[in-house]
């Protein structure tokens, strides 16, 4: 049995749990060439998943990843869907296209995001860019796809970062006093804390029917990050996606391939529900079966 720690590689996880990918449909956001999302899909291709839906802004950045996947396993069906997480109308269109393209969703990996943008930028819908791209866009996409995920007894994997330790979500002022108090790393940290809170809120709002895992690549937050390989970086996400034993622990926060605890503010139930309410207001729609 594989040892689960900071040194575990994605290939080791696939060797251990790859059979649980057989015949399954995986949706992932932001799997551009050179990124962790792409590395995860290429590594998992050694197993027998049935269908990948790759959602991103620019098809040309994802096409090389699709070519690599085909070279490893030509039997995997590949679908590209255009998705701009800074535009709610694009997210709704992408969700409709995904819904039409798949009969089921076994795993949704909310991987896409932006990091430490120097300038204060708003999404098309008027929300600070880190909060919108890293969290709010995935909130909308996940909820629009929730019915099909639940029917498949599927799993949602949200991507956080040790940068969550830099800032609480701050649901009272997601736009930094209209940019006057903006700091790029605080913005990034807020969005990653929001992702963790979202994981817990999903379980609460859907009565445990929608299973969510939060995975965090190994390392430490800036300004002194720990350097790890791409293979180490995808191991936790692969375990979150594949290991059926984790379902009993969902919602779960995973770090270095193991279930871990968060700082208290990142798993506070009241704050998670407050974030959910704010998010519904920002996207103009209510969600959840509870």
Span 176-234, pLDDT tens digits: 999 999 999 999 999 999 999 999 999 899 976 666 676 655 544 555 455 688 999 99
| Residue 3 domain-assigned (yes or no) | no
- Per the structure, the complete domain to which residue 81 belongs is given by 10-283
Instruction: Give the list of residues 6+ apart from residue 274 with CB closer than 8 angstroms, or none.
Output: 171
pTM assigned to the model: 0.94
Catalytic residue chosen out of the listed positions 32, 60, 123, 160: 160
CATH of the domain at 152: 3.40.50.720
Count of domains forming the chain = 1
Residue, of 210 and 273, whose pLDDT is higher: 273
Query: Which pair of structure tokens corresponds to residue 9?
Result: 């590689």
| Residue 5 domain-assigned (yes or no) | no
User: Considering only CA atoms, which of 190, 136, 130 is closest in space to residue 166?
Assistant: 190
Cβ-in-10-Å burial (0-12, 13-18, 19+) of 274 comes to: middle
Angle, nearest 10°, between helix axes 36-44 and 230-242? 60
Task: Tell whether the torsion through CA atoms of 196, 191, 91 and 39 is positive or negative.
Answer: negative
Q: Would residue 160 show up in a list of annotated catalytic residues for this protein?
A: yes
Over residues 52-63, the pLDDT tens digits come to 999 999 999 999
| Residue 74 domain-assigned (yes or no) | yes
| Residue 289 domain-assigned (yes or no) | no
* Phi (first) and psi of residue 23, to 5 degrees: 75, 10
| Residue 2 domain-assigned (yes or no) | no
Confidence of residue 163 (pLDDT cuts 50, 70, 90): confident
Query: Which pair of structure tokens corresponds to residue 140?
Result: 């909308």
Helix (H) or strand (E) holding 233: helix 230-242
Helix (H) or strand (E) holding 100: helix 88-101
CA distances from 276 to 13, 200, 204, 283 (A): 33, 10, 10, 11
| Residue 290 domain-assigned (yes or no) | no
| Residue 92 domain-assigned (yes or no) | yes
């Amino acid at each position: 049995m594989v040892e689960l720690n900071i040194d575990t590689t994605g290939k080791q996880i696939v060797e251990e749990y790859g059979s649980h990918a057989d015949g399954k449909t995986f949706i992932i956001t932001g799997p551009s060439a050179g990124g962790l999302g792409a590395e995860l899909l290429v590594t998992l291709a050694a197993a027998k998943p049935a269908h990948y839906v790759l959602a991103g802004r620019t098809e040309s950045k994802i096409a090389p990843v699709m070519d690599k996947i085909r070279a490893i396993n030509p039997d995997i069906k590949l679908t590209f869907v255009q998705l701009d997480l800074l535009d709610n109308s694009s997210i709704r269109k992408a969700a409709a296209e995904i819904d039409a393209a798949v009969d089921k969703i076994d795993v949704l990996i909310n991987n896409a995001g932006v990091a430490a943008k120097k300038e204060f930028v708003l999404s098309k819908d008027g929300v600070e860019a880190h909060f919108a791209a890293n969290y709010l866009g995935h909130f909308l996409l996940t909820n629009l796809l929730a019915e099909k995920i639940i029917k498949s007894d599927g799993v949602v994997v949200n991507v956080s970062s040790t940068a969550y330790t830099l800032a609480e979500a701050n649901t009272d002022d997601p736009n930094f006093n209209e940019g006057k108090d903006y700091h790029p790393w605080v913005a990034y940290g807020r969005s990653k804390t929001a992702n963790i809170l979202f994981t817990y809120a999903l379980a609460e709002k859907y009565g445990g029917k929608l299973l969510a895992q939060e995975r965090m690549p190994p390392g430490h937050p800036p300004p002194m990050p720990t350097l790890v390989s791409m293979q180490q970086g995808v191991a936790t996400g692969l375990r979150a996606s594949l290991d059926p034993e984790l379902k009993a622990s969902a919602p779960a926060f995973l770090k270095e391939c193991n279930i871990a605890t968060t700082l208290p503010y990142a798993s506070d139930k009241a704050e998670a529900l407050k974030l959910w309410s704010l998010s519904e207001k920002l996207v103009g729609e209510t969600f959840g079966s509870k």
